[in-house]
Amino acid sequence: MQEIGVGVIGTAFMGKAHSLAYAAAGTAFGGGLRPRLEMVCDIDPDIAKAKQIEMGFARSTTNYMDVVNDPKVQLISICVPNSVHKEIAVAALKAGKHVWCEKPMATTVPEAEEMLAAANESNCQTMLGYNYTQNPLVQSARDLVNEGVIGEVTGFHGIYDVDNEADPDRPHSWRMSREASGTGANADVMCHLVSMAHFMTGAEVTRLVGDYDTVYKERKDPNNPEQMLPVDNDDVCTALAHFSSGIKGTLRVSRVAWGRKCGLRWEIHGSQGMICHDQERLNELQLYKRSDDPRQQGFRTIHSGQYHEPYSAFLPNAGHTLGFIDVKVCELHKLLTAISENTPAWPSFEDGLKIEKVMDAIDRSAMSGAWTDV
Amino acid sequence: MQEIGVGVIGTAFMGKAHSLAYAAAGTAFGGGLRPRLEMVCDIDPDIAKAKQIEMGFARSTTNYMDVVNDPKVQLISICVPNSVHKEIAVAALKAGKHVWCEKPMATTVPEAEEMLAAANESNCQTMLGYNYTQNPLVQSARDLVNEGVIGEVTGFHGIYDVDNEADPDRPHSWRMSREASGTGANADVMCHLVSMAHFMTGAEVTRLVGDYDTVYKERKDPNNPEQMLPVDNDDVCTALAHFSSGIKGTLRVSRVAWGRKCGLRWEIHGSQGMICHDQERLNELQLYKRSDDPRQQGFRTIHSGQYHEPYSAFLPNAGHTLGFIDVKVCELHKLLTAISENTPAWPSFEDGLKIEKVMDAIDRSAMSGAWTDV
Amino acid sequence: MQEIGVGVIGTAFMGKAHSLAYAAAGTAFGGGLRPRLEMVCDIDPDIAKAKQIEMGFARSTTNYMDVVNDPKVQLISICVPNSVHKEIAVAALKAGKHVWCEKPMATTVPEAEEMLAAANESNCQTMLGYNYTQNPLVQSARDLVNEGVIGEVTGFHGIYDVDNEADPDRPHSWRMSREASGTGANADVMCHLVSMAHFMTGAEVTRLVGDYDTVYKERKDPNNPEQMLPVDNDDVCTALAHFSSGIKGTLRVSRVAWGRKCGLRWEIHGSQGMICHDQERLNELQLYKRSDDPRQQGFRTIHSGQYHEPYSAFLPNAGHTLGFIDVKVCELHKLLTAISENTPAWPSFEDGLKIEKVMDAIDRSAMSGAWTDV
Amino acid sequence: MQEIGVGVIGTAFMGKAHSLAYAAAGTAFGGGLRPRLEMVCDIDPDIAKAKQIEMGFARSTTNYMDVVNDPKVQLISICVPNSVHKEIAVAALKAGKHVWCEKPMATTVPEAEEMLAAANESNCQTMLGYNYTQNPLVQSARDLVNEGVIGEVTGFHGIYDVDNEADPDRPHSWRMSREASGTGANADVMCHLVSMAHFMTGAEVTRLVGDYDTVYKERKDPNNPEQMLPVDNDDVCTALAHFSSGIKGTLRVSRVAWGRKCGLRWEIHGSQGMICHDQERLNELQLYKRSDDPRQQGFRTIHSGQYHEPYSAFLPNAGHTLGFIDVKVCELHKLLTAISENTPAWPSFEDGLKIEKVMDAIDRSAMSGAWTDV
Ligand SMILES: NC(=O)C1=CN([C@@H]2O[C@H](COP(=O)(O)OP(=O)(O)OC[C@H]3O[C@@H](n4cnc5c(N)ncnc54)[C@H](O)[C@@H]3O)[C@@H](O)[C@H]2O)C=CC1
Ligand SMILES: NC(=O)C1=CN([C@@H]2O[C@H](COP(=O)(O)OP(=O)(O)OC[C@H]3O[C@@H](n4cnc5c(N)ncnc54)[C@H](O)[C@@H]3O)[C@@H](O)[C@H]2O)C=CC1
Ligand SMILES: NC(=O)C1=CN([C@@H]2O[C@H](COP(=O)(O)OP(=O)(O)OC[C@H]3O[C@@H](n4cnc5c(N)ncnc54)[C@H](O)[C@@H]3O)[C@@H](O)[C@H]2O)C=CC1
Ligand SMILES: NC(=O)C1=CN([C@@H]2O[C@H](COP(=O)(O)OP(=O)(O)OC[C@H]3O[C@@H](n4cnc5c(N)ncnc54)[C@H](O)[C@@H]3O)[C@@H](O)[C@H]2O)C=CC1
């Protein structure tokens, strides 16, 4: 069992998730590369130091270039705000480090293109944190589709609703400003849905018409609750979409949908059946097969289990349930395998750029009102 | 208890459903008008005669004008193919008969306009068979929305998927020809969804962009299975929609969605909660209230019961479940009340025309590719 | 199509349900006997008169013997309190009338035996109102079991929880007195569950140990809320059971289970699969087959449809959903067929007596604390 | 942040789960004791060596006494077959090591008593692996019950069905022999259910009547498939139970229930509501409150989230879902807190002995057929 030195930049939700994944990978998967926790970085020095100890890293820093340049680090996790992804990714790739970058890839298509160029010029592997596609059950769903279990794919329909910003009394933040953060639900939520659409269909969105809704057009100034500040990006983002494979579909996301906590729900329609998934029940897949005896036809609720590998890296029997962190470990395992086999894994920066372009096309269409090519 | 003479034209799925409703109304509701089964009509004389006996009508005919002109008939059910709705409705209204007409109202907007004109010139009540809106639980949902239980309405999203035509080996029929039947899923399925969108929001779709997909572009000629005939109307119909109240939403329907039997599912988003419904579980409503204690927040699965009137016209306690036919009885009860109180009930021909116009706008938009006013 | 004259005794929940079924049967089923509403009876003269008109009967009475003796009546519905079932049933059978009697059969085993003796001495058909077993989907489940779809039956486990009496502030009533009404949840709720256990297994409970719980040991006197009256029968009734076929199982019911409206849930375990049902979702059956491909194994949610006859007596396509009343119409249809074919249908008085004996054995066991033969 | 040296004995399902928990605890919880992976032990030398490297332990051994005696080890995980629990636990406690022991505690009550005695004589903390009770959502459910959200507790009903041995063609194993492994489903599955019953009710089962069913009475000899070997312990184990608090309930488990993967489902009934949970949906709690507005009453599906601590040790927002391993980390966290605060956590060996005694009473009752005191 070989080791690989890793560094993590950013220590909030995702920095923690990546660190948990690094700590679990060897035990869970046994074979393959075993991560060695070298350096953790956070812009805040107190946090950096505290996290080094808690998370068990050998060293810490506040300057991400220390991670980039550390000779013991071969793989770098980028878990910082989107606006910093590009500069770190480009620096890391230039320094010959593999990159595990959180979603979305960047804040603009040109940035993403620069990142891909850097990846192409390197000998390194890249992976984007579209974790929902890495769920063993979702991967198995993709296999079923590929094997023709639902016949020819005839459509894809996806929703990703969350209630992060659903409270009208939640004050204004940088997330609600187009200048500060770009698009709203489009950038933050739609990217996950597009990744799923691309993954499940094996095709790409090529043409679409999109729409935005800013449900709460102003929000309280957090520094002065008497005053309202305008919200100028999208709370809700919807699109009718055409895919490269000829199928059509719909995509809709909202950040103001009360009750949906991680409401990523999708359906893939086929000529002989249907498969559906709801991320809030990540261990359950719905499969309908019209070939079943008519009296016995119905959606099957399939529980994650040992037949949906790499489930058994964690648990020997079905029904015991994986969680979000376990799926992140699966994502990491794919990247580690890509590194040791020197073969890209989905979604690399190349795949990620395609996702960015869809979000960009939705944005252009929502502004122009016209059907738009990706 | 007063009686009202009724006639039913057409004796298939809906003719039977109307007849069952007429037979049940007095027993279920006690008060109000009691239907008296006068005349049944079917174009096929054997069927007409058989149904008269089975269903308990006093007389039968093959000519719908006999029903229209029968002095003992005061209320007429139109349960024939869409292309015949207009001529019967206009004749019945001219003859001073109340009309219970199946959905969709007609096959074109001008036809529907003619029907509305006839209604306006009469002293009669009209009602369209958008039964899913008449479910006591759905009516109660509308009350909850009106009372502000989910705060301000912020969006409406609806799906209506069925698998009637999902089998690619199903032969060609008149339903698959634009000339013979007009639009496909748009006319047949979308109309129900639009009725729900209008009912639940209390607003109307005013502007939209629509898209069609003909998933199976040709089908076997039923008379010559060696030959294929083109399908030139929509298997799938989707739209992004703006409402008169300022909210936005999405609508999508399919007639080729395996596993969905009566998959009318909708969500109404609010500033303080959400309500969802799935027609396949017609006795269950989902309600999320953000005002609940945070540890106790979750969608409530509310079962139809005596608090959702007129449930108790059928059953004294919750959980015993109403079915499709019971809801049709509720629909009839609304019409009978409208007749005895001489006050229109929703959806009358006036409301129905608004629904037709949305379907027409979707059709125009799907053809032009542009955002279109209703 | 032949007619059959019917009389209904009792006009509350069940009297109404039977009357609705009589009014619907001809239209729904077409062929077979067509009920003709002859006489309705209620002990309260105002109700009797009102119901005659509302429900469309030809005559009414306050004396059930008028129904029994009416020459135009051939079939009698007994929809009165349990304590009156026996005298009416015996009189009706002696008068040569077929009997449709509500559940439970009687209040004691000897009464039920007397009823069966009267049935055996007559040429008449009898049927008991165990409607939940008559659901087309449940009947289809029984077929699947018989066909070996789940292999050998290895166990049956059933629950029937309701919340009718769950409110501790609900005042005392005759239902809570052993003297006035016999056992509590055992008589009222367990009987339905035992009927399902017998129907689904095709076997009978032969030996058991039972237990009672009186959760609320006293209740307010309705006439004097200051005073408490003792409750001396069972709020909860449970049993471990052995069946004539050699399998074992469990039965539990409660009338004080908040949130369960009609919570009749059962599972039949087999050597190759499992089938489950929940009455609150009467249109959905759960089926698990271990023969499915391992990656695709899961409980199927099967919707009632045209493949589960006599569903199509009401609706042509799956997913439109039957309700409680429709199932009552199915029950009636079975009885009408039994009458016209002169062959008993399940559950006749013979089958009902077996159910009564199980409830009686539970009662004896709950008192003695010992395993008890039925 | 202080460290604690840990050793793990046994490296199969549970040995892996404990090791994953040790690796994650520091990162997840930040504060408290941070585990340091000292020594791993497996009876198989190749496995011991391989697991040392994969799992990141400093040393390995095949002799558990090496772990017990290692001066750097302060906390020992016992993840070996039940028959070895006692000897290791007693040795470890004598050596002054804290013990995290897998369920069930032991194979006989006297063994469990010996373990408790050793714990009582030590200054060490003990914890048993009844992980399902450690789920943050289940812990929160217990809080809700304690706060009176469902009023007075009136009953507890639990099921734990799995299909591990459901295949009749599965060959005989030591698990199916009373001599080799003691009781069957009782020891292996019922213990989890009893732990849940004790945890959720805050009371103990004191009296019961139990029953066994050996569904498959013989199984193929794995060494000679032509020959059958007898199964002489329970496939199914059921009980009617009385609790120390005065409530009653039911318990049933099966190891031959097709389709149930980890089917631990329980309901706690109250005078003002009900709470239910299904382990296969470990992130969802069902709560019914009769105090809700009648039109809005229904079971709420509550998703695990930041309001159900320690959820946020893993994830900042609800809906992202914890898995089995995360819950094991929560269990460990409780033990680490107990150690650092020198205060026992539930379920210690004292609590575990009470669980063993219930299983023993079920066994005695199933043999004698009589109601039995625990
Ligand atoms: N895959 C998924 O499901 C999710 C992905 N994300 C993505 O992960 C990324 C990080 O988001 P969160 O974890 O929510 O963190 P955050 O945005 O709340 O905080 C970022 C962290 O990075 C640190 N940081 C900021 N600038 C830095 C710099 N220049 N150098 C070093 N450290 C710096 C901050 O101190 C903080 O610890 C984002 O791109 C986000 O879109 C976030 C949540 C879920
Ligand atoms: N509300 C709902 O959920 C549903 C509404 N419908 C609507 O109900 C209407 C009827 O559809 P189905 O019941 O499916 O029937 P159908 O279209 O299968 O058959 C129509 C019936 O009318 C008879 N008929 C045809 N032309 C006639 C004429 N000129 N005079 C007298 N009888 C004539 C036929 O013999 C047949 O009995 C349609 O408008 C349809 O869109 C249908 C199904 C569900
Ligand atoms: N199958 C099922 O799911 C259900 C069955 N039942 C059963 O149906 C029967 C009736 O119960 P409910 O309908 O709830 O009615 P109920 O018990 O509330 O009222 C009985 C009705 O019979 C009338 N009545 C009483 N004594 C009479 C007499 N001597 N002669 C004529 N009329 C008399 C009363 O005025 C009233 O209309 C009971 O046996 C009950 O167990 C009740 C509810 C559900
Ligand atoms: N909490 C839970 O949900 C679960 C608990 N368990 C419990 O965990 C314990 C272990 O079960 P599994 O993990 O399934 O393992 P197992 O029973 O399949 O294997 C036991 C492991 O211990 C090793 N071993 C056996 N004897 C040993 C000895 N004397 N010294 C050192 N190593 C020895 C074996 O080589 C193997 O690695 C049992 O008590 C079981 O009941 C098991 C599964 C789930």
Could you read off the pLDDT of D317-370 as tens digits, one per residue? 999 999 999 999 999 999 999 999 999 999 999 999 999 999 999 999 999 999
Co-location of D95 and D181 in the same domain: no
Judge whether B144 and B275 are in contact, CB under 8 Å: yes
The predicted-structure confidence for C210-260, as pLDDT tens digits, reads as follows 999 999 999 999 999 899 999 999 999 999 999 999 999 999 999 999 999
Consecutive H or E run containing C327: helix C324-341
Q: Residue A36 forms beta bridges with which residues?
A: A5
pLDDT band at B168 (very low <50, low <70, confident <90, very high): very high
Supply the pLDDT for residue D225.
Answer: 86
* Helix pair A109-121, A82-94: axis angle to 10 deg: 20
Q: How far is D144 from chain B (nearest CA, A)?
A: 9
**Whose CA is closest to B101, among B12, B186, B10, B185?**
B10
Query: Is beta strand D248-254 parallel, antiparallel or unpaired with respect to D236-243?
Result: antiparallel
Query: How high is the pLDDT of residue C278?
Result: 98
Which residues share a beta bridge with C75?
C6, C98
pLDDT at D181 over 90: no
Q: Is the same domain home to D204 and D234?
A: yes
My answer on whether A87 and A208 are in the same domain is no
Mean pLDDT for A210-226 is: 96
Determine if ligand 2 sits within 6 Å of the CB of residue B44: yes
- A145: nearest CA partner in chain C: C296
Which of D107, D124, D141 marks a domain boundary? D124
SS (H, E, C) chain B: CCEEEEEEECCCHHHHHHHHHHHHHHHHHCCCCEEEEEEEECCCHHHHHHHHHHHCCCEEECCHHHHHHCCCCCEEEECCCHHHHHHHHHHHHHCCCEEEECCCCCCCHHHHHHHHHHHHHCCCCEEECCHHHHCHHHHHHHHHHHCCCCCCEEEEEEEEECCCCCCCCCCCCHHHCHHHHCCCHHHHHHHHHHHHHHHHHCCCEEEEEEEEECCCCEEEECCEEEEEEECCCCCEEEEEEEECCCCEEEEEEECCCCCCCCEEEEEEEECCEEEEEEHHHCCEEEEEECCCCHHHCEEEEEECCCCCCCHHHCCCCCCCCCCHHHHHHHHHHHHHHHHHHCCCCCCCHHHHHHHHHHHHHHHHHHHHCCCEEC
What average pLDDT does the segment D256-272 reach? Answer: 98
Answer yes or no: is the C-beta of D64 below 6 A from any ligand 4 atom: yes
Spatial neighbors of A354 by CB under 8 A, at least 6 apart, are: A198, A204
Last residue of a domain, one of D63, D94, D124: D124
Report the atom number in ligand 1 closest to the C-alpha of A188. 41
Residue D301 has pLDDT above 90, yes or no: yes
Instruction: Looking at the structure, tell me whether residues A90 and A164 fall in a common domain.
Output: no
User: In the predicted model, is pLDDT for residue A1 greater than 80?
Assistant: no
For B220-232, what is the mean pLDDT?
Answer: 95
pLDDT at A181 over 90: no
Residues D293 and D356 in one domain: yes
Indicate whether C181 pLDDT > 90.
Answer: no
Scan for tokens 């040109």, then name that residue: A110
Task: Calculate the average pLDDT of chain D.
Answer: 97
Domain boundary among A124, A153, A187: A124
Amino acid identity at C231: V
Instruction: Quote the pLDDT of residue C180.
Output: 84
- CB contacts, 8 Å: D297 with chain B: 300, 302
What is residue C73's three-state secondary structure? coil
**Partner B contacted by C312 (CB < 8 A):** no
Does residue D142 sit in the same domain as residue D90? no
> Closest to B280 (Cβ–Cβ): which among C20, C54, C319?
C319
d(CA D304, CA D282): 8
Give kind and range of the element (H or E) at residue D66.
helix D64-69
**Residue of chain A whose Cα is closest to the Cα of B267:** A257
Q: Which domain holds residue D78?
A: 3-124
Establish if C291 touches chain A: CB-CB under 8 angstroms: no
pLDDT band at A225; cut points 50, 70, 90: confident
Question: Average pLDDT, stretch A344-364?
Answer: 98
Could you read off the pLDDT of D182-215 as tens digits, one per residue? 999 999 999 999 999 999 999 999 999 999 999 9
Residue C243 pairs in a beta bridge with: C205
Whether omega for the bond prior to residue B347 falls within 30 degrees of 0, making it cis, is: yes
Q: How far apart are CA C277 and CA C287, in angstroms?
A: 9
C53 CB burial (10 A radius; 0-12, 13-18, 19+) = middle
**CA of residue B80 to ligand 2 center, whole Å:** 3
Q: Which residues of B touch D289 (CB under 8 A)?
A: 296
pLDDT reading at D267 higher than 80: yes
Same domain, residue pair B159 and B83: no
pLDDT of C275 over the 90 cut: yes
A160 and A111 fall within a common domain: no
CATH code for the domain in which residue C41 is found: 3.40.50.720
According to DSSP, the β-strands at D59-61 and D34-41 are: parallel
Domain CATH code at residue B289: 3.30.360.10
- Mean per-residue pLDDT over chain B, rounded: 97
Q: Output the average pLDDT for chain C.
A: 97
For chain D, what is the domain count? 2
Kindly state the tokens that stand for B29: 């509701």
Average pLDDT over residues B68-91: 97
Q: State mean pLDDT over D78-89.
A: 97
* pLDDT for the residue numbered C1: 72
- In the predicted model, is pLDDT for residue C118 greater than 80? yes
Record: contact B317-C24, CB cut-off 8 A: no
Q: What pLDDT, on the 0 to 100 scale, is given for residue B31? A: 82
Helices of type H across chain A? 13-29, 45-55, 64-69, 82-94, 109-121, 136-146, 178-181, 185, 191-201, 324-341, 349-368
Rounded mean pLDDT of A139-154? 98
**Which chain A residue is nearest to residue B250, measuring alpha carbons?**
A238
Strand A75-78: give its sheet, edge to edge.
A59-61, A34-41, A3-9, A75-78, A98-101, A126-128
Contacts of A221 (CB under 8 A, 6+ apart): A171, A172, A227, A228, A229
Cβ atoms < 10 Å from Cβ of B360: 20
Same domain, A120 and A137: no
Task: Identify whether residues D76 and D160 lie together within a single domain.
Answer: no
What percent of chain B has a predicted confidence (pLDDT) above 90?
98
Residues A256 and A360 in one domain: yes
Q: Per-residue pLDDT tens for B24-70?
A: 999 999 988 999 999 999 999 999 999 999 999 999 999 999 999 99
Q: Over pLDDT 70: what percentage of chain D?
A: 100
Same domain, A277 and A358: yes
Separation between Cα atoms, residue D157 and residue D269, nearest integer Å = 8
Closest listed ligand to the CA of A63: 1
Provide the pLDDT for residue C69: 98
